[in-house]
């Protein structure tokens, strides 16, 4: 398609009037896009670092909690054994007192 000579003249006038501004705008836009891309990559990188650190911290805390829970369970079991042992001793003492009482009475 051939352009009419008037259109060519109009395009030439547009280029003369606005050509430099359009180039400046295009360059500015390209710079902004590059900065946005760079910032996006930087933010994503920082987010990944934070995610990795949080994951490590969560795993460490989980391990610590598991260890504390295991220690607590052991202490509870020991205490229950002591309670059972103490109960048996009280029963044995009661039997001894009953036996002693029978001997004294009888």
Q: How many domains does the chain have?
A: 1
In the structure encoding, which two tokens stand for residue 40, read together?
Answer: 């996006």
Residue 24 domain flag: no
Residue 57 domain flag: yes
Residue 34 domain flag: no
Sign of CA dihedral 73, 76, 78, 81: negative
Residue 14 domain flag: no
Residue 59 domain flag: yes
Residue 88 domain flag: yes
d(CA 76, CA 69) in angstroms, rounded, equals 10
Instruction: Share the mean pLDDT of the chain.
Output: 87
Q: Does the global pTM surpass 0.75?
A: no
**Average pLDDT estimate for 68-92:** 85
pLDDT value, residue 4: 67
Query: What is the b/e burial string over 51-65, where b = at least 16 CB atoms within 10 angstroms of the residue's CB?
Result: eeeeeeeeeeeeeee
Query: What is the b/e burial string over 71-86, where b = at least 16 CB atoms within 10 angstroms of the residue's CB?
Result: eeeeeeeeeeeeeeee
Q: pLDDT exceeding 90 applies to what percent of the chain?
A: 48
Q: pLDDT tens for residues 84-101?
A: 777 667 788 888 889 888
Domain that holds residue 67: 41-106
């Amino acid at each position: 398609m051939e352009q009419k000579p008037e259109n060519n003249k109009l395009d030439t006038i547009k280029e003369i009037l606005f050509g430099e501004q359009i180039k400046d705008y295009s360059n500015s836009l390209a710079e902004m896009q590059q900065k946005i891309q760079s910032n996006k990559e930087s933010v994503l990188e920082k987010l990944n670092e934070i995610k990795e650190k949080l994951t490590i911290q969560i795993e460490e805390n989980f391990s610590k909690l598991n260890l504390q829970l295991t220690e607590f369970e052991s202490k509870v079991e020991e205490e229950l054994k002591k309670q059972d042992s103490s109960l048996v001793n009280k029963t044995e003492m009661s039997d001894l007192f009953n036996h002693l009482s029978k001997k004294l009475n009888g």
